[in-house]
Amino acid sequence: MSTIDSAEVLRLAALARIDLSEAEVTRLAGELDVIVQAVATVSEVAGPDVPATSHPIPLSNVFREDVPGATLDREAIMSQAPEALDDKFAVPQILGEEA
């Protein structure tokens, strides 16, 4: 059974700010569906006795000392910006469409 339809792909695309053609939406719906099905299969195997895992490595508390290190060269960074002003990144108008 398909769980990912075109509407779902369009919603995700909108959230991710990705502009998709109709053909891409159809193709991705199929591909994503395969992935979701695969995960569903795993869910079937994992019973309630298997705890959910978010981190596969049994490691915790990896901390850094609070000691300042080197920063990037400002001019090098700004030279990469498509547009800059006063050492700041210039970006298109934000949230212009919102009331």
Taking alpha carbons only, the member of 23, 29, 27, 33 closest to residue 9 is: 29
Which tokens belong to 39? 């995960």
Q: Is 68 in the site for another protein (CB under 8 A)?
A: yes
Q: Is 86 in the site for another protein (CB under 8 A)?
A: yes
Contacts of 34 (CB under 8 A, 6+ apart): none
Contacts of 82 (CB under 8 A, 6+ apart): none
Look up residue 21 and give its DSSP letter: -
Q: Is 54 in the site for another protein (CB under 8 A)?
A: yes
Question: Which range touches another protein (CB under 8 A), out of 1-9, 20-28, 36-44, 89-97?
Answer: 89-97
Which tokens belong to 81? 């910006």
Alpha-carbon distance of 77 to 52, in angstroms, equals 41
Among 14, 22, 44, 49, binds another protein (CB under 8 A): 14
Q: Shortest approach of another protein to residue 30 CB, angstroms?
A: 22
Judged by beta carbon, residue 50 or residue 77, the one nearer another protein is: 77
Q: Which residues bind another protein (CB under 8 A)?
A: 11, 14-15, 17, 54-55, 57, 59-72, 74, 77-78, 85-96, 98-99
